[in-house]
Structure 1
Amino acid sequence: MIGIVLIQTVFGIGVGTQQSESHPSLSWQQCSKGGSCTSVSGSIVLDSNWRWTHIPDGTTNCYDGNEWSSDLCPDPTTCSNNCVLEGADYSGTYGISTSGSSAKLGFVTKGSYSTNIGSRVYLLGDESHYKIFDLKNKEFTFTVDDSNLECGLNGALYFVAMDEDGGASRFTLAKPGAKYGTGYCDAQCPHDIKFINGEANVQDWKPSDNDDNAGTGHYGACCTEMDIWEANKYATAYTPHICTENGEYRCEGKSCGDSSDDRYGGVCDKDGCDFNSWRLGNQSFWGPGLIIDTGKPVTVVTQFVTKDGTDSGALSEIRRKYVQGGKTIENTVVKISGIDEVDSITDEFCNQQKQAFGDTNDFEKKGGLSGLGKAFDYGVVLVLSLWDDHDVNMLWLDSVYPTNPAGKAGADRGPCATSSGDPKEVEDKYASASVTFSDIKFGPIDSTY
């Protein structure tokens, strides 16, 4: 084993000098009442989890494959002091490209030194801060092309309650901050995050047995999540998930809700309250050649309605509309026994859906839509991603899940086979897959489409 001198003068993870960090530009539009929209010059940044992590003055890896260096990373603080996050070659290494108001995320990218799978990027407000949104009494619109996403893939656009600066001001060790994509969290309290609060997540690290690039550590990174869009060309859903802690929260043990016994005892509602048209009784709405033809781009409009119609009011409803071929298409109406014939997410819809499907109502327990609104008050960050699922093959989105439902209502979520979505097969067969997000607009309700 090569002896490596531990460096003790960095005092937190640093940034590398092997590759300059140049954020790809991405414009979006800020709209005002009446539909007048102004272009905003923005950019995106790659999540730190995807970045090369190595020693400051060389190329020795701190993290290689799905394991930490035992020499450089014997404990969280030492590891952070010994390592840097490198700049990103967005197109060459990660398959990410932008043009004007459009961002394309590739699935499998074979670079000079490694093969990259998927990506996760954030919209920046400036070079060192994420763009913060408060969605209450507002409307968020974008156009998406899912025509190249098969079963088992998920082109996702969503919001999470991350720190605006990626945790740089809250945590001494989190120096790279938003400029290098730090601070990620979501309602699943992911344990695969390599650096949480600036500390390497090396404690109890277990390399994945089916993912050559990932593993899990002792801690998870939790925060409220609003899934505006999770989709491939066969299935789609939008889903709010609420956490009881404001902003990013580092969990451990029961507070993470990891095991089946603790799932509903953690700080986050992992199930959420989803609106999936197929699951809710309409199997002719979303797909190739259907009412919304996924062979073509579609514009997706999401409205966050407050009880009193003001920006400070309590969140009471999440509405969805689509625009394709010059026509505005209303969301589907629920056709499931025990649920009212509605076309939006409300607390009443969520309560009825949980009861009709026999699911635990953690959404209500964690605060319902008013709880989601409190996270919006804190501020949320826009995330774009493309991924495959090494846990359950994305069956929860596009197939039957659980796979042996014994007639369980709500298990049928999409048309994909229960044998589909295996990451090894997906990564081999659909390596050229991609998703394109474009024409992001934000403003008052009915101002962006």
Structure 2
Amino acid sequence: MFPAATLLCFTLLAVVRGQQVGTVTAENHPSLSVQQCTGSGSCSTQSRSIVLDSNWRWLHTTSGYTNCYTGNTWDTSLCPDGATCAQNCALDGADYAGTYGITTSGNALTLKFVTQSQQKNIGSRVYLMADQSHYQMFHLKNQEFTFDVDMSNLPCGLNGALYFVEMDADGGMTRFPTNKAGAKYGTGYCDTQCPHDIKFINGEANVEGWAASASDPNAGSGMFGSCCNEMDVWEANSMAAAVTPHVCSVQSQTRCSGTQCGDGDERYDGICDKDGCDFNSFRMGDKTFLGPGMTVDTRSKFTVVTQFLTADNTTTGSLSEIRRLYVQNGMVIQNSKVNIPGMAAYDSITDEFCNAQKEAFGDTNTFESLGGLKQMGTAFDNGMSLVMSVWDDHAVNMLWLDSDYPTDVPATNPGVARGNCATTSGQPTQVESQSASASVVFSNIKFGDIGSTFAH
């Protein structure tokens, strides 16, 4: 994600154990089928499931119903420090549909934006599971990844995201034995924004230096962040879409503090590339390619194909290109081409494209300095977990995705205009009240050999 994600964490009126495991609500992962395809044109169906991220879950005392975290504040008697908090508190199971608006049917996952039950839930983040206690790990070099998406009910200011991060397959249980919940309860999240709102990092509560958010009643930030390589396959709403590799100088989930995290004025001094190298068709000069009634018509479902090509066309070669295709109404749609002064007509992400884009837009090129596509490929060698989420943006109102950003320079400057949404759009209080019924549907996930997952 481009800005620091301010994800929502709220407490329920039931019980469970923080990094311990609670027993008030049974944890039953909603099933979701996916398909693995081969060059012969055959695809095999795999029965999988999804799990809700631990940050959304109710956190309470291991032996009772007392909240360890309420609103955006820790109970300092239960959580005077990170290690003690992990002993005292437990994460509970989730009512996926009733509390979080998360439902599955066959190969389709629906994420509702706002769900009102005992309390109001806003947004969600889920991971694909290989089994009950492990995330499914993807190795996508010289492979492609395909899914259908329906964003027709996703307006300005929202982000229906599908992406990969270099999390531990078991959610960190092996590396951090104080983490008793693991992937079964959605622990171990990380990304290149090194988010500070993660309540447990490395098996300890992130209570040190915790500050409640001024704008989000459900979130705050601690001293530590959780960093790792991130491949944003799809960050989008009905008005804009971006595909963005981000890389870090480290491999696997890493807890950061201080300058390492790249916060604020130190954005380009940290261990991760927060900007990434994005291909947003609108930002790259084609303002009629993706949106309502456009070439890729976001008023109805379509297929997104992403190919991860290597220099030698093998799974062991260096990642050299990320190519995008779309399929809608039976027609294969090639990606838009760059139309920016001083840039060639690129239509995919390569290191050459990234360097040219950074120069044309006057952006800092930490993508290159931290390893570029080769580093992204190394993350896939190690294995990356699939994330799907819907969220709003308390940092900059999602303007970086679908509007003009930054707002203090002319929108006519190269790279500033990113979508047709107004610069006044995307305010969380506004979208949460006016677009509460928004949702995104991801379905028909397929992965495998190049050219095997969609009809040509």
TM score, norm. by length of structure 1: 0.97
- In the alignment, what sits opposite 2:193? 188
> Aligned with 2:121: secondary structure?
strand
1:103 maps onto 2:109 in alignment: yes
1:141 maps onto 2:146 in alignment: yes
The letter of the residue matching 2:312 is D
Aligned with residue 129 of structure 2, among 124, 127, 130: 124
1:337 maps onto 2:341 in alignment: yes
- In the alignment, what sits opposite 2:29? 23
Give the superposition deviation at 1:12.
8.3
The letter of the residue matching 2:359 is Q
Aligned with residue 378 of structure 1, among 379, 382, 388: 382
Distance of 1:218 and 1:173 partners within structure 2: 19
CA contact (8 A) 1:12 1:198 kept: no
**What does the per-residue CA deviation read over 1:320-372, in whole Å, with 9 as the maximum and x for residues that have no partner?**
00000000000001010111101000000000000000000110000010111
> Aligned with 1:210: secondary structure?
coil
Aligned with residue 292 of structure 2, among 285, 288, 291: 288
1:230 maps onto 2:244 in alignment: no
Aligned with residue 96 of structure 2, among 86, 90, 99: 90
CA contact (8 A) 1:167 1:197 kept: yes
Distance of 2:193 and 2:413 partners within structure 1: 24
CA contact (8 A) 1:12 1:174 kept: no
Distance of 1:228 and 1:12 partners within structure 2: 31
> Aligned with 1:230: secondary structure?
strand
The letter of the residue matching 2:357 is Q
- In the alignment, what sits opposite 1:315? 319
**What does the per-residue CA deviation read over 1:400-429, in whole Å, with 9 as the maximum and x for residues that have no partner?**
000121343100000000000000000000
Distance of 1:220 and 1:282 partners within structure 2: 36
- In the alignment, what sits opposite 1:65? 71
> Aligned with 1:26: secondary structure?
strand
> Aligned with 2:431: secondary structure?
helix
CA contact (8 A) 1:12 1:173 kept: no
The letter of the residue matching 1:276 is N
**What does the per-residue CA deviation read over 1:208-227, in whole Å, with 9 as the maximum and x for residues that have no partner?**
00001000000000000000
Give the superposition deviation at 1:59.
1.1
Identity rate, percent: 63
CA contact (8 A) 2:19 2:180 kept: yes
> Aligned with 1:240: secondary structure?
strand
The letter of the residue matching 1:120 is R
TM score, norm. by length of structure 2: 0.95
Distance of 1:59 and 1:424 partners within structure 2: 30
The letter of the residue matching 1:357 is F
- In the alignment, what sits opposite 1:219? 224
Aligned residues: 438
The letter of the residue matching 1:305 is L
CA contact (8 A) 1:161 1:248 kept: yes
Across the aligned residues of Structure 1 and Structure 2, the Cα RMSD in angstroms comes to 1.1
**What does the per-residue CA deviation read over 1:22-59, in whole Å, with 9 as the maximum and x for residues that have no partner?**
00000000001132100000000000000000011211
The letter of the residue matching 2:94 is A
> Aligned with 2:349: secondary structure?
coil
**What does the per-residue CA deviation read over 1:64-117, in whole Å, with 9 as the maximum and x for residues that have no partner?**
000000110011111110000010000000000000000000000011x21100
- In the alignment, what sits opposite 2:440? 435
- In the alignment, what sits opposite 1:4? none
- In the alignment, what sits opposite 2:281? 277
Equivalent runs, 1:167-182 vs 2, <5 Å:
167-182=172-187
1:398 maps onto 2:411 in alignment: no
> Aligned with 1:384: secondary structure?
strand
> Aligned with 1:381: secondary structure?
strand
The letter of the residue matching 1:141 is T
Give the superposition deviation at 1:126.
0.4
- In the alignment, what sits opposite 2:10? none
**What does the per-residue CA deviation read over 1:256-309, in whole Å, with 9 as the maximum and x for residues that have no partner?**
00022x111110000000000000111111111111110100100000000000
1:415 maps onto 2:420 in alignment: yes
The letter of the residue matching 2:195 is P
Give the superposition deviation at 1:13.
2.5
**What does the per-residue CA deviation read over 1:372-424, in whole Å, with 9 as the maximum and x for residues that have no partner?**
11111111000000000000000000000001213431000000000000000
Stretches (4+) displaced over 6 A = none
1:266 maps onto 2:270 in alignment: yes
CA contact (8 A) 2:35 2:46 kept: yes
CA contact (8 A) 2:136 2:169 kept: yes
- In the alignment, what sits opposite 2:356? 352
> Aligned with 1:264: secondary structure?
helix
The letter of the residue matching 2:246 is H
